Homo-oligomer: A and B are copies of this chain.
Amino acid sequence: MASSHKLILEAMEGRASRVPVWLMRQAGRHLPEYLALKQKYTFLELCKTTEAAVEASLQPIRRYNMDGVICFSDILVPLEAMGLELDFNPGPVFAHPLRSFKDLDRIQDIDVKARVPHILEILSTLKAHPETQGKTILGFTGAPYTLASYAIEGKTSKDFEHVKAWMYRDKSGFLKLMDRLADLVIAYILEQKKAGADAVQLFDTWAGHLSREDYRDFVCPSTEKIIAVAKENQLPLILYCNGGSHLMPEMLSLKPDCLSLDWRMSLEDYCLKIPDSIAIQGNLDPSCLYGSKELVIQRTLKLLDFGKKRGRYILNLGHGLLPNTPIENVKAFVDCALKS
């Protein structure tokens, strides 16, 4: 029988009875039942078909019984709420990328309910679902810089040529875009909360490519705005910045409720720098799950030891679960926390 406590929320408040666990990208390609579901839909159709997305969100819960249920979606979906047309081929594609200040005219007024109703239906269905009772329902979104990166490049990029060219040539225009994206993210996560999200995670997948100076100048203002509104609205927020170990001082200054650390940030080092008031989530290298079950257990127990001593700790990976990860290793990882 599942506990009726929402352990992830409790851990963020420092009062959980054990370390809770969930995994970034826990729903998806490592599960045969997901691959079966995926045969009937394209990725975007799956994101937009409530019943199927709810099923994809619940699949990992049935198999592993982790403490967090994250809605099946994509970090870029919110861009559709301002009228940018998203496609996948197989990576994300925007046919008409934003390239300069004048392109901001093409951005439409934000309307989450009208343009991306499915994300709200998925969350409210998950919230009411018998299989999620006692679990924390997690909403999520790409953070402004990551949204900007895709909206400007039009696709996944290695060098972010167009993003950087804009950033370095038109600082005020770029900051204007970032501010509009902050407003988008705010509208999006507040609607997610109304629909049933207990907490949200902000994924800043690409901000780790920035220097400290550029992160401070170009990213902090919009993220700060989002975090302030989340706090005003009692919406617990987890900030994740992939490859951002060098940005720790700046991330701490943003005072998120929880920092999700990638595996390059050694917990022993970083916990000393992170004040007790900020919860820590993470941070096993997802590729460790390609190793032996013994290695998975050994490294996970080390994280749990740290987490139990530290408090305000949520077990997770340092990045998304990888496609070919063996199921038995995911189970071993989750079980370590369930038994903690």
List 8 interface pairs A-B (beta carbons < 8 Å), by A numbering: A159-B322, A165-B287, A165-B291, A168-B295, A169-B290, A169-B292, A214-B285, A246-B264
- The smallest beta-carbon distance between A90 and chain B, in angstroms, is 13
Inter-chain CA distance A295–B211, complex, in Å, is 15
A290 surroundings in chain B (CB, below 8 A): 161, 164-165, 168-169
Q: In the complex, which of the residues A290, A291, A292 has the most CB atoms of chain B within 10 Å of its own CB atom? A: A290
- Given known contacts A211-B285, A263-B211, A292 and B246 CB-to-CB distance under 8 angstroms: no
**A265 surroundings in chain B (CB, below 8 A):** 246
Cα–Cα distance between A168 and B288 once the two chains are bound (Å) = 7
- Interface residues of A: mostly helix, strand, loop or mixed? helix
Query: Which A residues between 244 and 287 are near B, CB-CB below 8 angstroms?
Result: 245-246, 263-266, 269, 285-287
How many copies are assembled?
2
A287, B169: Cβ atoms closer than 8 Å? no
Instruction: Tell yes or no: A331 within 8 A of B by CB.
Output: no
Let me know if A172 is at the binding interface, CB within 8 A. no
From A283, which residue of chain B is reached at the shortest CB distance? B211
Listed in ascending order, the chain A residues whose CB lies under 8 Å from chain B are 159-161, 164-165, 167-169, 208-214, 243, 245-246, 263-266, 269, 285-288, 290-292, 295, 322, 324
Question: Which residue of chain B is the closest to A243 with respect to CB atoms?
Answer: B243
8 A-B pairs with least C-beta separation: A168-B291, A164-B287, A165-B290, A245-B246, A246-B264, A211-B263, A212-B266, A164-B290
Residues of chain B lying within 8 A (CB to CB) of residue A210: 264, 285
Contact (Cβ within 8 A) A169 B243: no
Q: Contact between B266 and A211 (Cβ–Cβ < 8 Å)?
A: yes
Q: In the complex, how many angstroms separate the beta carbon of A251 from the nearest chain B beta carbon?
A: 13
Q: Min CB distance, A291 to chain B, in Å?
A: 3
**Smallest Cβ distance from A6 to chain B, in angstroms?**
30
Instruction: Point out the residues of chain B lying under 8 angstroms from A169, CB to CB.
Output: 290-292, 295
Residues of B within 8 A of A292 (CB): 168-169
B266–A164 CB distance below 8 A: no
User: What is the bound-complex CA distance between A167 and B164, given in angstroms?
Assistant: 35
Shortest beta-carbon distance from A231 to chain B in Å: 29
Tell whether, in the assembled complex, residue A264 and residue B211 are in contact, meaning their CB atoms are under 8 Å apart: yes
A287 contact set on B, CB distance < 8 A: 159-161, 164-165, 168
| Nearest-Cβ distance from residue A318 to partner chain B, whole angstroms | 8
Apart from the given pairs A159-B287, A168-B288, A246-B246, 4 other A-B contacts in the complex at a CB distance below 8 Å: A159-B286, A164-B288, A168-B291, A246-B266
Q: A165: which B residues are within 8 A, CB to CB?
A: 287, 290-291
Q: Contact check, A266 vs B213: say whether CB atoms are below 8 A apart.
A: yes
Give the residue name and chain of the B residue nearest to A160 (CB).
Answer: B287
Chain B residues with CB under 8 A of A209: 264
**Residues of B contacting A246 with CB < 8 Å?**
245-246, 264-266
Kindly list chain B residues whose C-beta atoms are within 8 Å of the C-beta of A266: 211-213, 246
Bound form: Cα–Cα A211–B165 in Å? 31
A324 in contact with B161 (CB, 8 Å): yes
CB distance from A162 to the nearest CB of B (A): 9
Shortest distance in angstroms between A317's beta carbon and chain B's nearest beta carbon?
A: 12
Residue of B nearest to A291 (CB): B168
